[in-house]
Structure 1
């Protein structure tokens, strides 16, 4: 059965911000990616991480529960001429049942908070190579950081179409300084969880970057979210797009919307013996 992400898949691939270049450089250095490694992209979506790592790996296994996301990733791989990816339907509960080869690196992007994390970390202990590890990348909130005014315009339109609870991310705690509340990770909790896992050797990194979007890109980002994708909006999707564009341009006719995003990465390996 498909999920709300099915209708959001093409928007997700096009409008979600890419991961920082510093994160890819960190992985290449930390795991000595030289084209010989096997990578697992768990909760891959349309392969936002897996597609970028494919040129540095021997093979990438992209695993996601949503067929539409996998189909979008496969389309993008073909478009880019990448042939060393396998697109597998599954979730974090299926890691030990996918008959994967020994994995050198598992990457999880903006999806770890949706998983049964303690169980997954135990399962990965049997999947990752002795010198392997995992890297979790997440959107982080920025406590006390100044916030631009235009996101409030987006939230007001979302609330009118979706109701207040849905507009705030299906009832999740509102974190006004985190762009996509669906994807926010509790950074302290993540570090504690990894430190208690088989992969207790943990290093963390954070990067801030400024993102500039057009009005169409702001609208597309909203349609990439499970809480406001076309499956949720239904026959009101076109009206939502029209009203959001109108409200954004009324707020700022320049049509460029700037925001600073914070991304965190936790790299975890087994302790040295």
Structure 2
């Protein structure tokens, strides 16, 4: 997408969020490209619907509207719960809105992050380009993938060892490797959502061999925190965890699945390819180049980041 044309330079944003600068004297021709045809695999979903559903899977401890934007904070646990969700007009000129964002997060001792998306109809390529023009840097990029839920139930995975529960317990947290000593803010974020389920497979020393989390929200089931201990990988445990969670979500009348995974996590992406998940769009976290140090908590590598069965 052509996102800016200024001072003789064209800025083109790819679906993945990568940007390319082209001198206008190198431009030979251009044309309007129609919207991509409807997807043939997976459930139909618009970007605004998915953005709101995925946000409800990682709910902050506090939030504040800024026009159509939402500022979110959760004491620094996950960028998804500690970033701006900019779905629409902030009600201010962009520079003023970003200044408000920086002040709001600074008051909470947090770096300012804006989560913006690319790669689907209605995503935010122009906002991404404007952030880069203002020296905001892209720090994390991930894929949002979707699939039909029923096929996840149609596997030969042995789910007999998978235990499901409504609350997160200490053994589950000991396997969850994306935070240090978990405080109450961590358990509150993990437990947030319309209908939350936690899965675990017994391991050794009171630490599960595998874990997972699922948030059921209407027709959607979101899969998160799927982790397998290194000593137990390639035994089908990630598939078993997701199958057990999918079956419970189907019992709650969900029909579609989503997950988030970093674009460079090849192992997890291969696993999800095999399960029929396709990329719907990409999202990116931007922060001012001169902002404070990175969040001292987790990243957004998504399900399977600590090892999958791929």
Q: Fold-level match, TM-score > 0.5?
A: no
**Higher strand proportion (structure 1 or 2):** 2
Higher-Rg member (1/2): 2
**Higher helix proportion (structure 1 or 2):** 1
TM-score (norm 1): 0.31
